[in-house]
A = this chain, B = another copy of it.
């Protein structure tokens, strides 16, 4: 009966978080129960709760991944030594690519954080959001101080405008997979943002 391999917690945690994203992408948020999650991983519910104290902690773990993978990657680009234009382009492409590889993550974060009504999760989400905006604003300020872009432009406003791009991309991608024109998406959006900055 007992054929299930025994793996250590760190590995199971990765599998569980992976399964969460797969369920959302393939079956929808409404199927994200611990029961279905256990089935997907190939374990029982008890085993799931052996590796995570609560379901909430699984979502929290995914948020931490986003901070460690996405946000850290974006930070590296923003703090690099390339030109502001190159930074902006790489930033946007990296951003979109990450969301493409982890489709549904935007909806998971916003939906679950608000669904669970959890102050800490919402705070984390807020931080991820404002970190990204801050990095974009920083790149833009850099470009302005290097006289590449217009002085009379508000970096924070452009950052707000920017933030809509990956969010919209992700929402459209999960909502309407065929409708969105993926080809060169990040280059096309980059050109538009550059238009704003060059005035």
Chain A residues at the B interface, C-beta cutoff of 8 Å: 27-31, 107, 110-111, 114-117, 122, 125-126, 129-130, 154, 156-158, 160-161, 163-165, 167-168, 171-172, 174-176, 179, 181, 188-189, 192-193, 195-196, 199
Contacts and interface: CB of A to CB of B under 8 A. Distances in A.
Contact of A110 (B31, B110, B125, B161): B110
Contacts of A126: 175-176, 179
A161 B189 contact: yes
**Interface class of chain A by DSSP:** helix
Contacts of A189: 157, 160-161
- State how many copies of this chain the complex holds: 2
A164 B28 CA distance: 23
Contacts of A156: 181
B117 A30 contact: yes
A136 B154 CA distance: 24
B168 A163 contact: yes
Given A27-B117, A28-B114, A126-B179, 16 more contacts: A30-B116, A110-B111, A115-B115, A122-B175, A126-B176, A129-B171, A157-B189, A160-B165, A160-B168, A161-B189, A161-B192, A163-B168, A164-B165, A164-B168, A167-B167, A195-B199
A171 B116 CA distance: 16
A137 B129 CA distance: 28
Given A164-B164, A164-B168, A189-B160, A111 B122 contact: no
B117 A29 contact: yes
A136 to B, nearest CB: 12
B164 A163 contact: yes
Given A156-B181, A192-B196, A115 B30 contact: yes
A82 B72 CA distance: 46
Contact of A117 (B28, B158, B174): B28
